[in-house]
Chains A and B, each alone.
Chain A
């Protein structure tokens, strides 16, 4: 009991004595609080079981549009009566004009005044016949309108007949079903209301003022809070969820001893395609699939360009090549990189034998000329990795992939054959989706073809390589179903989004 009383806020205490008053407006008036504060306090009191709300559906009689207007300006008959009070006798048509009433109102007013024997109509003139006293008295209609709103079942027989009459007139009265709240003070509430402790002063906020002197708080009680009550949302600063995930990917690779590659988004076709043994008539090199910038870039040194030419035209390192005339101009065409593998190609071209072993990774945006829908977009994130060392084999490739995806939270994965122009053997990684019960593709990998490695490195050393997309991984984690949501930047959504936490 005392705990309960200690938990009452100032406002709750303010309205406590008036809980049995009739209606919200009474409580507001008596407690000197606004409606919102009273409602909130009532809700808290109800949470504390001091009161109960009872809702009741009631037909309520209230003023309509015209009724509200007449409350201010007076009923039409009153306005006509006031005019007659001045003039005593007036022509009908003058009365209509001077009263400022419309035809309808005028007609009704005449009827009402006549029925009350306040006026007579003779020879097109209105003659006032009511006494001064009768005129000054409020009519029963006026009294009724002023008393609104009223509940229908509370009407007196007299009010009921007035209602009937007024309902015939345009928009004076409106009858409406309303939900009505009753505040019922519970036995507990009654006990609280009658408790002596209620008047005891409690400390509200702890303020610097309060802390100044010990006597301010020594031996005093602090008002108890409802610590389980919901509080307003707070918005903080944070990183974009895609970048949180990418940073985690970066952490995994560096933990595994990989060094980060970074490079340009705009690259010549040479690095994106030619250096990766992708023939110049390959469909990926059409505008249909790849963004071309309509300009040409620089090619690397002639030795490398000629090595690439040879790998395509005649083949190198025991390969037959693609057997066509390789065109340098085609290789110069600038594109938006379609994969981060172009960064691996550039890295390989810069390595020397004494650098081995080496491990590199990249995470970055890649581009393809696509329309946009829930599963497609023109930009996507890829994570790239290469391992360069003698004596590497296919099982090592699978080992790295398994480890990376395990850290990303994919336990059950499988490997199946795949095709990429620049890797052989090639592999696709699939993840068993436990709810959907299907294998979903996570990405591709392989060992770089001898045509690629010999050309870029000058010798054939195993290079394990992978380039899975990153977007599926983060869509899975954040439960995003639509690819477009990744870059929608809905601030509400970003504020609510959970943080990337993987351990």
Chain B
């Protein structure tokens, strides 16, 4: 999610006073207000609207939404002049095949505009560009460049230039190893035989996309009037869209946009697109009764042109219109989400709870009636809690499901509930005893065939509590559910129970759980100073009975 910060002063002079009514309108436009201060207005821009990531572009769209300057904005796009060309070498095919470029002239830049351009570039990198993986943008002062421009890929050691913010010349590999930005994005070029570069006709290296510009030819300042912009990446259509967003922003600043010849294309094509928008479908989906005239008005408020034949003209910078439904949503936004009257449809259906949930609740009620307190734990757990503290040696840890790259030390799925019950008891030594707790919840493991299993379990623990206490509870529960659990002295002795005081719980001939007194050595691992008894059963078989 991308947030953008606009100057409050600019906003108030261009759009209007930023009072609560205006903030409401901004939210209804689909750009939630994150914060407002004396100097700034911070908005969240949803990922489908990269065309709102700069102030200039936002202002244009929002003014239309407010009913000022509606319809599709057009900008004068000048044809390429002599040498306004980017010669694309076939060597880039393997590494970063496409580029779309433009030239903007007669800009009057100041610090705030340069900041806006850089921020737009960065936000586009992050969102549409997927952190430069899919797309990267370069902006250069044109007066330092001798046209035409070449886009090619060469061996990293043959690349030598002084990158931005670095005191001396480096090779392509050195940049990836030593330059801060180079290190950050090194993974995008790592392992490539050749790295892509832009050069001018004097063979000055302008940049090594998607990493960094050259210090000599790649720094835009207050003095810069004319610039060269390129987008490089893997999907030409997206590069074109992205270039449209940038050039529209420059055009709003007063720059003159020039196309360039890029291989067989002229970019930016700035080609608008047409799509049919059916009045009937719009009304059907939105539950409205709009006529053509009001549909046209609403479409124009969202920056589209609407034609009598039912077609909508979509500006070239919109990346999110995949389907007519996307236009219909914009009509809803223009209509105002606050202007829809919510209604419940006349549909008759029968409500139904999931059977397992009904049983889980029933079990919880039975146990609550015995004075047991229900607890609820994470489904994730720590390996140390699941194994080490339960006395399982590291080489015997098995059947657990690990999570890749967890940001916390909760990095496996819980295999059982009983280690969590002990954890809670160990953390509650200052709560009044006796403590009788239970949990019903999902556990996760892999079976003999390495297949993943999810089961609902019930775990019960008493402290202080002995085998009899737990067996009584188990008997009471099964009696109330209308069947009986048997117990059988445990065959494969679990080391966390006291030998001779633990049993398997058998239901219709199948082992569904364990019951017993926890061994002092395990209590010691958990720093528990009270006797604890526990049972845990798999509820899936019980569910099957209902």
Say yes or no: is A237 at the interface (Cβ < 8 Å to chain B). yes
Contacting A319 at CB < 8 Å: which of B323, B370, B404?
Answer: B323
Given contacts A283-B130, A389-B345, contact A237 B369 (CB under 8 A): yes
Determine whether the beta carbon of B235 is less than 8 Å from that of A323.
yes
A208 to B357, CA, bound (A): 45
**Binary B-proximity of A286-311 (CB < 8 A = 1, otherwise 0):** 01100111110100000000000000
- Looking at B136-144, B165-173, B332-340, the stretch in contact with chain A turns out to be B332-340
Q: What residues on A are CB-neighbors of B323 within 8 Å?
A: 315, 317-320, 424, 449-451
Nearest residue in A to B348 (C-beta to C-beta)? Answer: A257
Say yes or no: is A261 at the interface (Cβ < 8 Å to chain B). yes
Q: What residues on B are CB-neighbors of A414 within 8 Å?
A: 27, 337-338
Say yes or no: is A456 at the interface (Cβ < 8 Å to chain B). no
| Min CB–CB distance A341 → chain B (angstroms) | 17
Say yes or no: is A457 at the interface (Cβ < 8 Å to chain B). no
Q: What residues on A are CB-neighbors of B48 within 8 Å?
A: 419
| Min CB–CB distance B323 → chain A (angstroms) | 4
Q: What residues on A are CB-neighbors of B326 within 8 Å?
A: 424
A414 to B28, CA, bound (A): 10
Say yes or no: is B46 at the interface (Cβ < 8 Å to chain A). yes
| Min CB–CB distance B528 → chain A (angstroms) | 13
Q: What residues on A are CB-neighbors of B150 within 8 Å?
A: none
A359 to B348, CA, bound (A): 9
Determine whether the beta carbon of A396 is less than 8 Å from that of B345.
yes
Nearest residue in B to A439 (C-beta to C-beta)? Answer: B27
Say yes or no: is A416 at the interface (Cβ < 8 Å to chain B). yes
A378 to B403, CA, bound (A): 12
Contacting B286 at CB < 8 Å: which of A253, A358, A367, A393?
Answer: A393
Say yes or no: is B308 at the interface (Cβ < 8 Å to chain A). no
Given contacts A237-B436, A416-B32, A427-B337, contact A490 B452 (CB under 8 A): no
Nearest residue in B to A261 (C-beta to C-beta)? Answer: B354
Say yes or no: is A400 at the interface (Cβ < 8 Å to chain B). yes
**Binary A-proximity of B267-307 (CB < 8 A = 1, otherwise 0):** 00000000000000000111100000000000000000000
Say yes or no: is A395 at the interface (Cβ < 8 Å to chain B). yes
- Looking at A53-61, A79-87, A137-145, A240-248, the stretch in contact with chain B turns out to be A240-248
Interface residues of A in 399-430 (CB under 8 A from B): 399-403, 414-419, 424-428, 430
Determine whether the beta carbon of A417 is less than 8 Å from that of B333.
yes
- Looking at A64-72, A180-188, A369-377, the stretch in contact with chain B turns out to be A369-377
| Min CB–CB distance A429 → chain B (angstroms) | 10
Say yes or no: is B482 at the interface (Cβ < 8 Å to chain A). no
Say yes or no: is B317 at the interface (Cβ < 8 Å to chain A). no
Say yes or no: is A6 at the interface (Cβ < 8 Å to chain B). no
Given contacts A266-B454, A393-B286, contact A259 B431 (CB under 8 A): no
**Binary B-proximity of A425-446 (CB < 8 A = 1, otherwise 0):** 1111010000000010000000
A323 to B48, CA, bound (A): 16
A387 to B47, CA, bound (A): 26
Say yes or no: is B324 at the interface (Cβ < 8 Å to chain A). yes
| Min CB–CB distance B265 → chain A (angstroms) | 17
Q: What residues on B are CB-neighbors of A318 within 8 Å?
A: 323-324
Determine whether the beta carbon of B407 is less than 8 Å from that of A489.
no
Contacting A489 at CB < 8 Å: which of B237, B377, B408, B454?
Answer: B377
A399 to B344, CA, bound (A): 5
Determine whether the beta carbon of B369 is less than 8 Å from that of A265.
no
Determine whether the beta carbon of A359 is less than 8 Å from that of B444.
no
Determine whether the beta carbon of B401 is less than 8 Å from that of A293.
yes
Determine whether the beta carbon of B328 is less than 8 Å from that of A417.
no
Interface size class of B (residues with CB under 8 A): 35 or more
| Min CB–CB distance B544 → chain A (angstroms) | 15
Interface size class of A (residues with CB under 8 A): 35 or more
Nearest residue in B to A402 (C-beta to C-beta)? Answer: B342
**Binary B-proximity of A318-337 (CB < 8 A = 1, otherwise 0):** 11111110000000001010
Determine whether the beta carbon of B404 is less than 8 Å from that of A293.
yes
Determine whether the beta carbon of A400 is less than 8 Å from that of B351.
no
Determine whether the beta carbon of B431 is less than 8 Å from that of A419.
no
Determine whether the beta carbon of A237 is less than 8 Å from that of B406.
no
Say yes or no: is A2 at the interface (Cβ < 8 Å to chain B). no
Q: What residues on A are CB-neighbors of B432 within 8 Å?
A: 235, 491-492, 495
**Binary B-proximity of A209-249 (CB < 8 A = 1, otherwise 0):** 00000000000000000000000000111111011000100
| Min CB–CB distance B255 → chain A (angstroms) | 30
Determine whether the beta carbon of A265 is less than 8 Å from that of B237.
no
Say yes or no: is B373 at the interface (Cβ < 8 Å to chain A). yes
Interface residues of B in 438-469 (CB under 8 A from A): 442, 444, 452, 454
**Binary B-proximity of A478-496 (CB < 8 A = 1, otherwise 0):** 0000000011011110110
Determine whether the beta carbon of B367 is less than 8 Å from that of A237.
yes
Nearest residue in A to B450 (C-beta to C-beta)? Answer: A295
**Binary A-proximity of B61-100 (CB < 8 A = 1, otherwise 0):** 0000000000000000000000000000000000000000
Given contacts A394-B287, A450-B323, contact A418 B340 (CB under 8 A): no
Say yes or no: is B29 at the interface (Cβ < 8 Å to chain A). yes
Nearest residue in A to B364 (C-beta to C-beta)? Answer: A239
Q: What residues on B are CB-neighbors of A292 within 8 Å?
A: 403-405
- Looking at B200-208, B422-430, B530-538, the stretch in contact with chain A turns out to be B422-430
Determine whether the beta carbon of B285 is less than 8 Å from that of A394.
yes
Determine whether the beta carbon of A419 is less than 8 Å from that of B46.
yes
Determine whether the beta carbon of B342 is less than 8 Å from that of A417.
no
Say yes or no: is A264 at the interface (Cβ < 8 Å to chain B). yes
Nearest residue in B to A371 (C-beta to C-beta)? Answer: B407
A495 to B342, CA, bound (A): 41
Q: What residues on A are CB-neighbors of B237 within 8 Å?
A: 323
Q: What residues on B are CB-neighbors of A319 within 8 Å?
A: 322-323
Q: What residues on A are CB-neighbors of B424 within 8 Å?
A: 489, 491
Say yes or no: is A48 at the interface (Cβ < 8 Å to chain B). no
Given contacts A323-B235, A378-B408, contact A254 B353 (CB under 8 A): yes
Determine whether the beta carbon of A399 is less than 8 Å from that of B368.
no
Contacting A424 at CB < 8 Å: which of B325, B348, B401?
Answer: B325
A400 to B237, CA, bound (A): 39
Contacting A287 at CB < 8 Å: which of B347, B361, B404?
Answer: B404
Say yes or no: is A462 at the interface (Cβ < 8 Å to chain B). yes
A426 to B337, CA, bound (A): 10
| Min CB–CB distance A315 → chain B (angstroms) | 7
Contacting A243 at CB < 8 Å: which of B374, B401, B452?
Answer: B374
Nearest residue in B to A247 (C-beta to C-beta)? Answer: B361
Say yes or no: is A379 at the interface (Cβ < 8 Å to chain B). yes
Q: What residues on B are CB-neighbors of A254 within 8 Å?
A: 351-353
Q: What residues on B are CB-neighbors of A439 within 8 Å?
A: 27
**Binary B-proximity of A195-218 (CB < 8 A = 1, otherwise 0):** 000000000000000000000000
Say yes or no: is A146 at the interface (Cβ < 8 Å to chain B). no
Determine whether the beta carbon of B371 is less than 8 Å from that of A236.
yes
Q: What residues on A are CB-neighbors of B133 within 8 Å?
A: 281
A242 to B364, CA, bound (A): 13
Given contacts A265-B379, A449-B325, contact A389 B352 (CB under 8 A): no
| Min CB–CB distance B4 → chain A (angstroms) | 15
Q: What residues on A are CB-neighbors of B344 within 8 Å?
A: 396, 399-400, 403
Say yes or no: is A28 at the interface (Cβ < 8 Å to chain B). no
Given contacts A242-B376, A287-B404, A415-B337, contact A257 B350 (CB under 8 A): yes
Binding site for B on A (CB under 8 A): 235-240, 242-243, 247, 250, 253-262, 264-266, 281, 283, 287-288, 291-295, 297, 315, 317-324, 334, 336, 357-359, 365, 367, 369-372, 378-379, 387, 389, 391-396, 398-403, 414-419, 424-428, 430, 439, 447, 449-451, 462, 486-487, 489-492, 494-495
Ordered by A's residue number, 17 sampled pairs between the chains whose C-beta atoms are within 8 Å are A239-B364, A281-B133, A367-B379, A367-B380, A369-B406, A394-B285, A395-B342, A414-B27, A414-B338, A417-B28, A418-B46, A425-B329, A489-B424, A489-B428, A489-B437, A492-B431, A495-B432
The 9 closest A-B pairs by CB, nearest first: A417-B30, A393-B287, A419-B46, A254-B351, A398-B342, A395-B287, A425-B329, A491-B431, A260-B354
Binding site for A on B (CB under 8 A): 27-30, 32, 46-49, 130, 133-134, 235, 237, 284-287, 322-326, 328-329, 332-333, 337-338, 340-345, 347-354, 356-357, 361, 364-365, 367-380, 401-408, 410, 413, 424, 427-428, 430-432, 435-437, 442, 444, 452, 454
